[in-house]
């Protein structure tokens, strides 16, 4: 047995005073169902010019820590310990004193922007209000600064977007508005709660760059709360790992990722899909079995992780482990930390072999799908120039999905991915094109389809809060499709509902709860379970795992694969996470501005040569490795609004490999990869030249430049 020594918070190599210091913080909520111990005596600190990442599963207390630091806790709450901002105990501040700090010196980016923005107020004035209140700006100066902030977070038409209401924006746009609002006053401490969950990888990379810039520019301290370990690896200086309201490990980001000293940390790292540049390992993802120690249970004199730990011993069940030191800034709440290794959880079961993308029965065939919103208007009603052309959301997209296989759809927000999915499902009536299900033409509207056709296609929506009835319990979301599509009733239906809940990592107690009593990740798991309740031929999943922590995500991804192998159903899987797409998909469709940039087998699309847009997506994707050195490609601006038809290449305005006027004036040809004819890239650059350019960029990024001829 290897023991360390109990340590206090003073063991830190930095000698400057902390900007924010948390000492033995405990937070207990009192509810009709009993006391909820969200945080159990944790101690943390963050310094200026430092990013502290806080990670852990849903229900570990991460967000509660953030709300406590902001003084945003409900009245029926008991708070213990101290929270010091520049030496001042903020737990003793009154409402007026807190108002001087919030938004000005301490700002927070919240997890759900839809509930944080005022639905009755345009988004521009909401940011301007903060600037006038905290910075003393006049009306015109506040408007100009707001436009600059919108542009800095990658919002297209930043001067016009401020006149829109929150419901007129996508989830990613709403999140960018919230980030712009938090950055408005250059705060000393910025708390970010899942700030990039709803963002595509290029915008995420821009925001992560902004985090680093803010840290340097105003000497700020940043607390980053997230379940995305790739984001933490890219921007954090130190990492704090929480479990069941406790701090179980803390250390430098490199030490945590390369040499974890708590079994829980090692387990989280084993749940992450491999970076898209690695060869396939052929194994299912690992996941941490069981669920988080319930916040409704008392703290016991034992390790709270013991029931899930692969190296548990009798001593773990009899003694509560203290935080033990194994270095100046690395500490772990494990009695046997010396035996923890990165691969201690082993490998998952081997995955079954995948068939060729061209083989198998075609479940869905889409040809020349087009979706335009609005109609052209002329300046003088019947003559004059067109002043309001329609938005070309999807432009002549074709693909097919084979039984037992998955089509991954990737691209930035505004590329047309969700519109494409809703066209397939029938929630939006397509402008033009053919959609066939097993050779049978589908009507444009779901209301005009037969009951059998409606049952054959199910969709998992990006926002689970909006897809679940807030007034009915979780059981309704599961029992209704089991009755309607599965023919189950009574006890049999309830037992199947419990099996589905267990499959997505939820317990029986969740069955009778209202959606509002669940976290965002738990709501998404309920939506997935409801989808599996029917016997669908095609499942369309729009960002189905973006709100899940890595352990549950791994469990759900394996569940999706297992369900597909068992039922031979086809999937359309939309995601910003390229690692997840690579793990689950057989084919990938890369969309930009409503057009297909690239289409083909997964491994072929994610290696060189690839479309310059795909190359930019791969460069922006965060890898769960602090030593990763991807090519640094940042796309300027945002996806165009697509009101005008493109004369040349749809990507010419932002392409880092643009070769001249031909890109602006001539549509790109469809080039086939000779090694994989099903792999098609729409680009003017010959594939041989494109491969040479991209390979050289990768070698240079890794510090091994190619020799010059």
Q: Which two tokens stand for residue 232?
A: 């933490």
Q: Does residue 560 form part of some domain?
A: no
pLDDT at 708 over 50: no
Distance CA(446)–CA(298), nearest Å, equals 50
Q: Return the ∠ at Cα 647 (arms to 644 and 650), rounded to 5°.
A: 80
Whether the pLDDT of residue 27 is over 90: the answer is: yes
Whether residue 382 is contained in a domain is answered as no
In sequence order, which residues have a C-beta less than 8 Å from that of residue 88 and are 6 or more positions away?
A: none
Q: What is the pLDDT of residues 192-241, one digit of tens each?
A: 998 887 678 888 888 788 787 777 777 889 999 998 898 999 999 999 99
Which pair of structure tokens corresponds to residue 201? 């990888």
pLDDT of 597 > 90? The answer is yes
**What are the tens digits of pLDDT across the range 384-416?**
565 677 888 999 999 999 999 999 999 988 899
What DSSP state is assigned to residue 11? -
Strands 538-542 and 457-460: parallel
Structure tokens at 249: 């490990």
40-54, 108-122, 242-256: least confidently modelled range: 108-122
Residues 6+ apart with CB under 8 A from 100: none
Q: Is 529 inside any structural domain?
A: no
Whole-angstrom Cα Rg for the chain: 26
Q: Helix, strand or coil for residue 15?
A: coil
The Cα 625–Cα 269 span in angstroms is: 10
- The mean per-residue pLDDT over the stretch 650-673 comes to 94
Fill in the DSSP letter of residue 55: E
Range of the domain at 231: 1-6+18-94+226-351
pLDDT of residue 15: 63
Higher-pLDDT residue of 621 and 648 is: 648
pLDDT at 261 over 90: yes
How many domains would you assign to the chain? 1
pLDDT in the model for residue 171: 67
What's 342's domain CATH number? 3.40.50.300
* Residue 354 reports pLDDT greater than 70: no
Given pLDDT bands bounded at 50, 70 and 90, which one contains residue 5? very low
- Sequence-separated (6 or more) residues with CB below 8 Å from residue 328: 11, 12, 13
Q: pLDDT band for 593, please (50, 70, 90 cuts).
A: very high
**What's the CA gap between 384 and 480, in Å, rounded?**
54
Q: Is the peptide bond before 241 cis (omega within 30 degrees of 0)?
A: no
DSSP state at residue 648:
S
Average pLDDT over residues 530-559: 85
318 assigned to some structural domain: yes
Placement of tokens 């430092």 in the chain? 50
Question: Mean pLDDT, the chain, as a whole number?
Answer: 86
Of 611, 594, 615, the C-alpha closest to 682 is 611
Residue 558 counted as domain residue = no
Q: Is residue 250 part of a domain?
A: yes
Residue the block writes with tokens 């930009």: 592
- Mean pLDDT over residues 239-245, rounded? 96
Q: Model confidence at 417, in pLDDT bands (50, 70, 90)?
A: very high
Q: Is residue 316 part of a domain?
A: yes
- How much of the chain exceeds pLDDT 90, in percent? 46
Most confidently modeled range among 251-265, 274-288, 459-473? 251-265
What is the reported pLDDT for 703? 63
What whole-number distance in Å separates Cα of residue 41 and Cα of residue 39?
6
pTM given for the model? 0.83
Task: Looking at 47-92, list the stretches that DSSP marks H as alpha helix, in order from N- to C-terminal side.
Answer: 62-70
Q: Average pLDDT of 56-71? A: 90
> For residue 307, is it within any domain?
yes
pLDDT tens sequence across 311-331 = 999 999 999 999 999 888 999
Residue 693 CB-density burial (10 A; 0-12 exposed, 13-18 middle, 19+ buried): middle
User: What mean pLDDT comes out for the span 576-587?
Assistant: 89
User: What is d(CA 709, CA 649) in angstroms, rounded to the nearest whole number?
Assistant: 32
């Amino acid at each position: 047995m290897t023991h360390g020594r109990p340590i206090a918070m003073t063991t830190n190599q930095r000698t400057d005073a902390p900007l924010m210091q948390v000492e033995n913080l405990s937070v207990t909520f009192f509810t009709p169902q009993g006391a909820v111990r969200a945080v159990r005596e944790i101690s943390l600190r963050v310094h200026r010019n430092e990013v502290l990442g806080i990670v852990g599963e849903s229900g570990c207390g991460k967000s509660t820590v953030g709300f406590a630091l902001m003084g945003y806790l409900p009245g029926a709450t008991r708070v213990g310990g101290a929270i010091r901002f520049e030496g001042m105990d903020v737990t003793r501040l009154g409402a007026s004193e807190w108002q001087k700090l919030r938004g000005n010196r301490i700002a927070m980016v919240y997890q759900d922007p839809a509930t944080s923005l005022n639905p009755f107020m345009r988004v521009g004035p909401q940011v301007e209000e903060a600037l006038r209140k905290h910075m003393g700006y006049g009306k015109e100066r506040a408007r100009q600064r707001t436009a600059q902030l919108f542009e800095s977070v990658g919002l297209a038409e930043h001067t016009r977007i401020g006149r829109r209401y929150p419901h007129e924006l996508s989830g990613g746009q709403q999140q960018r508005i919230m980030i712009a609002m938090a950055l408005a006053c250059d705060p000393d401490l910025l708390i970010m709660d899942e700030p990039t969950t709803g963002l595509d990888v290029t915008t995420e990379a821009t925001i992560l760059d902004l985090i680093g810039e803010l840290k340097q520019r105003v000497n700020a301290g940043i607390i980053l709360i997230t379940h995305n370990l790739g984001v933490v690896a890219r921007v954090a200086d130190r990492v704090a790992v929480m479990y069941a309201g406790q701090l179980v490990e803390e250390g430098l980001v490199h030490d945590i990722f390369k040499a974890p000293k708590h079994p829980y940390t090692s387990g989280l790292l084993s749940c992450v899909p491999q970076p898209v540049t690695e060869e396939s390992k052929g194994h299912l993802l690992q996941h941490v079995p069981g669920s988080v120690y319930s916040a409704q249970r008392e703290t016991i004199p034992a390790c709270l992780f013991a029931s899930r730990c692969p190296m548990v011993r009798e001593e773990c069940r009899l003694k509560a482990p203290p935080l033990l030191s194994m270095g100046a800034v690395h500490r772990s709440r494990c009695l046997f930390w010396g035996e923890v290794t990165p691969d201690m959880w082993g490998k998952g079961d081997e995955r079954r072999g995948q068939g060729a993308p061209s083989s198998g029965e075609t479940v869905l065939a889409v040809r020349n799908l087009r979706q335009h919103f609005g109609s052209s208007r002329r300046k003088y009603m019947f003559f004059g120039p067109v002043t309001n052309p329609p938005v070309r959301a999807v432009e002549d997209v074709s693909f097919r999905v084979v039984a037992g296989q998955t089509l991954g759809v990737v691209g930035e927000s505004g590329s047309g991915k969700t519109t494409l999915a809703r066209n397939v499902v029938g929630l939006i009536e397509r402008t033009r094109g053919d959609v066939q299900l097993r050779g049978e033409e589908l009507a444009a509207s779901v209301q005009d389809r037969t009951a059998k056709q409606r049952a054959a296609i199910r969709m998992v929506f990006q926002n689970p809060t909006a897809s679940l009835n807030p007034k009915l319990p979780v059981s309704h979301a599961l029992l209704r499709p089991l009755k309607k599509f599965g023919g189950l009733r009574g006890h049999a239906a309830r037992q199947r509902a419990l099996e589905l809940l267990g499959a997505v990592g939820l317990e029986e107690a969740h069955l009778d709860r209202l959606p509002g009593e669940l976290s965002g990740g738990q709501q998404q798991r309920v939506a997935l379970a409801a989808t599996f309740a029917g016997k669908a031929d095609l499942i369309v999943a729009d960002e189905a795992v973006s709100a899940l922590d890595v352990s549950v995500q791994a469990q759900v991804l394996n569940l999706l694969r297992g369900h597909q192998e068992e039922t031979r159903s086809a999937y359309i899987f939309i995601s910003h996470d390229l690692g997840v797409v690579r793990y689950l998909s057989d084919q990938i469709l890369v969309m930009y501005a409503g057009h297909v940039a690239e289409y083909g087998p997964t491994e072929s699309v994610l290696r060189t040569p690839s479309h310059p847009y795909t190359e930019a997506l791969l460069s922006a994707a965060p890898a769960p490795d602090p030593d990763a050195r991807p090519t640094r490609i940042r796309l300027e601006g945002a996806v165009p609004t697509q009101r005008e038809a493109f004369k040349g290449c749809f990507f010419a305005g932002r392409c880092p490999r643009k070769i001249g006027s031909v890109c602006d004036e001539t549509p790109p040809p469809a080039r086939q990869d000779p090694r994989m004819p099903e792999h098609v890239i729409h680009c003017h650059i010959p594939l041989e030249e494109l491969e040479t350019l991209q390979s050289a960029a990768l070698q240079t990024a890794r510090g091994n430049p190619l020799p010059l001829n």
